[in-house]
Amino acid sequence: MERTGRPTLAVVGATGAVGTVMLEILSQHADIWGEIRLIASPRSAGRKLAVRGEQVEVSALAEEVFDGVDIAMFDVPDEVAAEWAPIAVAKGAVVVDNSGAFRMDPDVPLVVPEVNAHAARRRPRGIVATPNCTTLSMIVALGALHAEFGLRELVVSSYQAVSGAGRAGVDALRRQLSLVAGTDLGTRPGDVRRAVGDDTGPFPEPVALNVVPWAGSLREDGWSSEEMKVRDESRKILGLPKLPVAVTCVRVPVLTTHSLTVHARFEDEVTVEGAREILATAPGVVLFDNPAAGEFPTPADVTGTDPTWVGRVRRALDDPTALELFVCGDNLRKGSALNTTQIAESLAAETR
Amino acid sequence: MERTGRPTLAVVGATGAVGTVMLEILSQHADIWGEIRLIASPRSAGRKLAVRGEQVEVSALAEEVFDGVDIAMFDVPDEVAAEWAPIAVAKGAVVVDNSGAFRMDPDVPLVVPEVNAHAARRRPRGIVATPNCTTLSMIVALGALHAEFGLRELVVSSYQAVSGAGRAGVDALRRQLSLVAGTDLGTRPGDVRRAVGDDTGPFPEPVALNVVPWAGSLREDGWSSEEMKVRDESRKILGLPKLPVAVTCVRVPVLTTHSLTVHARFEDEVTVEGAREILATAPGVVLFDNPAAGEFPTPADVTGTDPTWVGRVRRALDDPTALELFVCGDNLRKGSALNTTQIAESLAAETR
């Protein structure tokens, strides 16, 4: 394939759970990039990873790896992004960052292409941020409904997959499942906790046969950082800086795909028919909503797919301005790698 | 132990998941009842079950088994309760029924002793109903807050354990966990569904490594029967027939203990301190809420215990009249067997 003249892409954090999915997606969209450079921590340097059917050697993160890079996708911890994204920008790259380091910076757009693609054009710091995976798992559907009905309030509860905490989260659940499967654990006081022991991985409690109402770190007044992200990022993406948003984030024993229940109140009366029409035609959304035929989205259906799936569309029985939804999105695809890649590809189109 | 003169109790549905817990609780409260008669379907007749340290033979459901019974606790399917509870009443028993057959009957009180014990006194049909396990897993905490602040709206999402669907639910999750544990399933399209096959037990979708936004049967406008129960029963128990209640019920791969996120709006401004004081002293409630110390309720802690556990108490950031809560209750104890037994014991006290 002829790649001369096409932009050069750097993938920073290529060996992580999200990086792995980025490489899969890049392999499916093979005609966009010239060189693809894979970057990770020094510990992973020298490994070879497959992308577009070729083995590419991973380079250690360093200033010179950004020489000649047009666009860099970052999926690294906040503090690494905070340090290295500006270095990549100084070297001439536009950075698409999937960390939390820049999302709320007023000079960094927070972009979901289906909702606010225009925002990516104004990027004074040379950085475009991509939202937290929990926000992303619902925001495409909500953006479509907001455009038609005008959002006035959100009450959201999450059912978050362990891969939101990276490979360590996946490993923790798999290990714990091996300890409890085939036993009679899970019905007596403390039995799951004793079986799992103190090694609960990146979670504060056992996650097998359990749900854990905590994600992230402690913020003011008892809120978790994950809950604050969903509120703050939703407001910024939708351009509704004062939208009332109440969120409770809960980890569940699912490997991939975040699910959310959404109670969304709008400016005026809504109808289920109207909402279904919007969702059925919105880009990036699949309406899967026919309970009589057993159709509603679950992670088992959604994992590995790109869109935001929406089901259980009901109008609140006591409030004709509110809708109830159940929304699922693959947290590793649209929730992280896909959204980042979509933004990078739209920036690549700019450079042509 | 001297049991002469004490009331006679019948346990109808003694061999089920809830019946088994009833017998455990009866064994812990050994000084209340005279004879305890165990009743089940003809299929289970003749089996012997342990209660209060004795082996008691199970009788098949028939009119004559209610001869001399003062109080009968029923945990059987709706249609069995609808037929047999009136027969037990005609034989002179007061029935405490855990099915859905009578809950919304205006002549049948729906009772949670910590919230509306007084309601049990007026029972024109001789039947007292006990709520659905999902309603029960949160209502004690909400009743305490309502008594002080006056509830104005509820938005609720559930994280329901498989034992809410009885032994068949427990067996289905255990079987599915054995199929997926120790594999790399759960991250590729359709892999969990293929591994589990068509035998998803009482659930419409696989529940291992999944969450399923459906419980019960289809009602009007896309609502599930379980969601309607939570709304209708909460209104009846709290004495608020017009309370706006929006509910989404979701099954999770947990064996025992239902969890719920609750967004509760009250008449006036609330404070977290005020809510915590109420919850810390409310009968039947445990406040477990110190995220800085990693304290919030999870099913792993709550299973096998009697109270309603409440954590993650926050005031909505954008509405000073609303609280966010995460609530857990053992669906087989307070959610079914314990509430039924509590009511039966209070009726026994009446007869003394």
A-to-B residue pairs, Cβ atoms closer than 8 angstroms = 231
Interface membership of A323 toward B (CB under 8 Å) = no
Q: What is the pLDDT along chain A (352 residues), one digit of tens a residue?
A: 557 789 999 999 999 989 999 999 999 987 899 999 999 999 999 999 999 999 999 999 999 999 999 999 999 999 999 999 999 999 999 999 999 999 999 999 999 999 999 999 999 999 999 999 999 999 999 999 999 999 999 999 999 999 999 889 999 999 999 999 988 888 888 999 999 998 899 999 999 999 999 999 999 999 999 999 999 999 999 999 999 999 999 999 999 999 999 999 999 999 999 999 999 999 999 999 999 999 999 999 999 999 999 999 999 999 999 999 999 999 999 999 999 999 999 999 887 5
Beta bridge partners of B55: B50
Q: Which domains does chain B have, with CATH numbers?
A: 9-131+336-351 (3.40.50.720), 135-166+202-331 (3.30.360.10)
Segment B9-27, tens digit of pLDDT = 999 999 998 999 999 999 9
Q: Which amino acid is at B70?
A: D
Q: Residues for chain A: how many in total?
A: 352
pLDDT at A2: 59
> How far apart are the C-alpha atoms of A25 and B339, rounded to whole Å?
53
Place of tokens 């880009």: A283
Q: How would you list the strands of the sheet with B285-287, edge to edge?
A: B245-248, B151-159, B258-266, B322-329, B308-315, B285-287
> How far apart are the C-alpha atoms of A202 and A264, rounded to whole Å?
31
Contact between A1 and A30 (Cβ < 8 Å) = yes
Which residues of A line the annotated binding site?
A: 15-18, 43-44, 103, 160, 163-164, 251, 331
* A199-220 exposure pattern, b = at least 16 Cβ within 10 A, e = fewer: ebbbbbbbbbbbbbbbbbeeee
Segment B290-344, tens digit of pLDDT = 999 999 999 999 999 999 999 999 999 999 999 999 999 999 999 899 999 999 9
Determine the Cα angle at B337 with ends B130 and B177, to 5°.
115
* Residues contacting A183, CB < 8 A, separation 6+: A195
- Pairing of β B9-12 and β B36-40: parallel
Determine the Cα angle at A274 with ends A269 and A279, to 5°.
125
B312 φ, ψ to 5°? 55, 40
> How far apart are the C-alpha atoms of B246 and B319, rounded to whole Å?
18
Of B189, B261, B298, the CB nearest to A157: B261
pLDDT at B17: 87
pLDDT-based confidence at residue B352 (cuts at 50, 70, 90): low
Of B189, B231, B289, the CB nearest to A304: B189
Contact between A250 and A213 (Cβ < 8 Å) = yes
Segment B101-156, tens digit of pLDDT = 999 999 999 999 999 999 999 999 999 999 999 999 999 999 999 999 999 999 99
ipTM, two decimals, is: 0.95
Closest CA to B323 of B287, B269, B284: B269
Is B68 known as a binding-site position?
no
Q: Is A165 helix (H, G, I), strand (E, B) or coil?
A: helix
> How far apart are the C-alpha atoms of A76 and A68, rounded to whole Å?
21
Beta bridge partners of B251: B160, B212
The token duo for B275 is 């809510």
Distance from CA of B6 to the nearest CA of A (A): 31
Q: Residues for chain B: how many in total?
A: 352
Q: Which amino acid is at A290?
A: N
The answer, yes or no, to whether residue B1 has pLDDT greater than 60, is no
The answer, yes or no, to whether residue B30 has pLDDT greater than 80, is no
Contact between A213 and A224 (Cβ < 8 Å) = no
* Residues contacting B220, CB < 8 A, separation 6+: none
Segment B52-108, tens digit of pLDDT = 999 999 999 999 999 999 999 999 999 999 999 999 999 999 999 999 999 999 999
Cβ within 8 Å, pair B186-A272: no
Of A255, A305, A310, A327, which to mutate for an interface test with B (greatest number of B Cβ within 10 Å)? A255
> How far apart are the C-alpha atoms of B54 and B36, rounded to whole Å?
10
| Continuous H helices in chain B | 17-28, 78-90, 113-116, 133-149, 166-180, 191-196, 225-238, 272-281, 299-302, 338-351
List the 188-207 stretch of B: residues with Cβ below 8 A of A.
188-193, 204-206
The residue of chain B with its CA nearest to that of A223 is B314
The token duo for A246 is 């109440």
C-alpha dihedral sign at A169, B297, A228, A157:
positive
